[in-house]
């Protein structure tokens, strides 16, 4: 009796989530189930799938190119998530003062994030080119130009820089909102206790930001692990696999009509990210 009344009251809610739920099931859940099936088969999209059990997973994990892609992706994530949120927090702290033009600066920082990643990557590809602006500026200082995207040591960091430039605006906006939600009287209380700027940051700001930092890192790491667009536009996985990422490997397999292998890569990534996110969230909770 109570259940039915509760349902009737909530029916408006169910109706509202129905479209999103339908879309999620249709475009996410069903493909995921199909993909899981494909990952257990050899399938090229033309002939019927042939069940092979976990063979694809073993092949992928043992494949040297996939391992290199995994390493590259980890390097990418460490560099990107090490620097990006720090830049985001730094710029948010600067913007947190009562600046008159704060809105303008905030939009300026967020503009790259609103721009398509492919567009940003294309522009940076021009900047990095042999005759591009970066080498020209180096030339002004008498320094030799660098083959940013064709040198195996500089290619990955170069792509990371592009990604950070494009993405840290998101963290700026998120941190700025979070900073403004920390009660001001905490800072006043800290001042009364004789805390300096650094102490205030360490004992008031950071703890107040902890849930936001956790959010930024969980979302950011998941996003970073899926890097593909910039790689495709700027280096196509090269030079010599230096910028090959997990998703790039996935798409490569797909292009070779190895749908089973591509699905296996996808699931390996999903499981890895699920475990990683779980660990992050547990660490985040335990601290509290």
Instruction: List contacts with another protein (CB under 8 A).
Output: 11-13, 15-16, 18-20, 22-23, 26-27, 44-47, 129, 131, 147, 149-152, 234-236, 238-241, 254-257, 259
Least Å distance, CB 220 to another protein, is: 20
Least Å distance, CB 16 to another protein, is: 6
Closer CB to another protein, 85 or 261, in the complex: 261
Least Å distance, CB 287 to another protein, is: 36
Q: How many CA atoms lie within 13 A of 182 on its CB side?
A: 23
Q: How many CA atoms lie within 13 A of 265 on its CB side?
A: 25
Closer CB to another protein, 145 or 284, in the complex: 145
Least Å distance, CB 20 to another protein, is: 7
Least Å distance, CB 4 to another protein, is: 14
Q: How far is 116 from 112, CA to CA, in rounded Å?
A: 8
Least Å distance, CB 34 to another protein, is: 12
* 66 and 265 Cβ atoms separated by less than 8 Å: yes
Least Å distance, CB 237 to another protein, is: 9
Closer CB to another protein, 15 or 192, in the complex: 15
């Amino acid at each position: 009796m109570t259940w039915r009344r509760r349902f009737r009251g909530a029916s408006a809610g169910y109706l509202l989530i129905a479209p999103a739920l339908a879309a999620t099931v249709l475009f996410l859940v069903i493909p995921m189930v199909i993909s899981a099936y494909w990952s257990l088969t050899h399938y090229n999209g033309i002939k019927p799938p042939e069940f092979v059990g976990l063979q694809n997973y073993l092949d992928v994990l043992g494949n040297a190119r996939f391992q290199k892609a995994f390493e590259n992706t980890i390097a990418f994530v460490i560099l990107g998530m090490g620097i990006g949120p720090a830049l985001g927090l730094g710029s948010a702290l600067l913007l947190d003062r009562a600046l008159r033009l704060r809105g303008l600066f905030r939009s300026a920082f967020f503009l790259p994030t609103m721009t398509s990643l492919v567009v940003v990557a294309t522009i940076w590809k021009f900047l990095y080119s042999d005759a591009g602006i970066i080498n020209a500026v180096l030339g002004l200082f008498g320094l030799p130009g660098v083959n940013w995207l064709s040198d195996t040591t500089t290619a990955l960091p170069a792509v990371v820089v592009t990604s950070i430039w494009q993405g840290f605006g998101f963290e700026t906006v998120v941190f700025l909102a979070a900073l403004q939600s920390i009660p001001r009287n905490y800072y006043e209380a800290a001042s009364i206790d004789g805390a300096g700027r650094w102490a205030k940051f360490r004992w008031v700001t950071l703890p107040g930001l902890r849930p936001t930092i956790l959010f930024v890192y969980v979302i950011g790491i998941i996003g970073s692990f899926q890097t593909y667009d910039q790689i495709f536009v700027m280096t196509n996985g090269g030079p010599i696999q230096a910028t090959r990422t997990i998703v790039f490997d996935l798409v490569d397999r797909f292009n070779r009509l190895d749908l089973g292998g591509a699905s296996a890569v996808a699931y390996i990534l999903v499981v890895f990210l699920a475990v990683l996110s779980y660990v992050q969230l547990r660490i985040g909770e335990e601290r509290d």
